[in-house]
Amino acid sequence: MRGDSTTQVDPHPNRPPPHKQPTLEICCASIASVHAAAAAGAHRIELCTDLPSGGTTPSYGLIVAAVAALAQYRPDPIPLMVLVRPRPGSFVYSADEVAVMKGDVRAARTAGARGVVLGCLRYGEDGRREVDVCTMRELLDVVKEESWRGEAGDVTFHRAFDDCEDLLRALHDVHRLGSSVRRILTSGGHETALQGSASLRALCERASRLEKPSVNRERLSVMPGAGITKENLVKILKDTGCWEVHASAKVSIPSTGVSEFFASGDILQTDSGLVKSLLQALARTALD
């Protein structure tokens, strides 16, 4: 792993706490995808738009619609996490873009989301990409301004993490941000989580040593994402010791409209059958 030397690690370094069960988070970019994921039994949903670019901030209307949709599926609604990313491309943001992000955090809370998915980087004194701790703290201060559905806001640090050039240092930087950040979404610095399994395991092991058991704070979770399928989910979780996993479970649906002036490419949509197959695979890990 970048920034690390070879170490001996516990075979299950990041085993879930006794009260935690394996969790499947599904990334959705439309209201149809939200319904598909919820109907299949997803444990948590990340809402975004523009999946081909890696996701950007969804509209306020989509967030409101997603919150209403999720309330239909169980009395305790499925948690909704909203991606706050003002544009595709670099995770290094200007002051104006950070102001936009603060407004989007407030909008997500007002709309009824459970939390937000954030990630900001900067270039350090050595010219290498690293977590922008100061900007992240500004955004987290906004998260903490009011309660989210009666609770403290939930925050995920997204795959900007994989763009850092020293992942272990990045892990420590995220840990320094405090208990608001509950998990890191990462492929271990590789194209897919399967390819990054060794790095993910090392990150889990380090996270377990950073976190001290406390009634007021849960251990920082390392959540594998990128290329998760029913065929590799069990192997990834067993090899890494992680207990949360992130997938899009998407299929490509041909667009029915034809426009003379605008591209009418395929629509990427969450598939209930794929979500169910992931949940079945996840259940097998819980039994082992």
Residue pLDDT, tens place only, 3-40 = 543 333 444 444 555 445 799 999 999 999 999 999 99
Let me know if residue 10 belongs to a domain: no
Domain containing residue 69: 23-287
pLDDT surpasses 70 at 186:
yes
pTM value is 0.90
Taking only the tens place, the pLDDT of each residue in 187-196 is 999 999 999 9
Taking only the tens place, the pLDDT of each residue in 31-69 is 999 999 999 999 999 999 999 999 999 999 999 999 999
182 phi, psi to nearest 5 deg:
-95, -20
Let me know if residue 1 belongs to a domain: no
pLDDT surpasses 70 at 70:
yes
Let me know if residue 231 belongs to a domain: yes
Q: Token pair for residue 148?
A: 């989210």
Of 49-58, 117-126, 133-142, 254-263, where does mean pLDDT reach its minimum?
Answer: 254-263
pLDDT at 128: 95
Let me know if residue 131 belongs to a domain: yes
What is the distance between the alpha carbons of residues 201 and 204, in angstroms, rounded to a whole number? 5
Let me know if residue 75 belongs to a domain: yes
Give the CATH number for residue 167. Answer: 3.20.20.380
Count CB-CB contacts under 10 A for residue 203: 30
The larger pLDDT score, comparing residue 33 to residue 212, is at 33
Let me know if residue 258 belongs to a domain: yes
CA distances to 33, 90, 113 from 26, rounded to whole Å, are 9, 24, 15
pLDDT at 190: 97
On average, the pLDDT of the chain sits at 90
Per DSSP, the three-state class of 241 is: coil
Let me know if residue 30 belongs to a domain: yes
251 phi, psi to nearest 5 deg:
-125, 160
Q: How many domains does the chain have?
A: 1
pLDDT at 237: 95
Q: Percentage of residues in the chain with pLDDT exceeding 70?
A: 87
pLDDT at 218: 73
| DSSP secondary structure letter of residue 160 | G
Let me know if residue 5 belongs to a domain: no
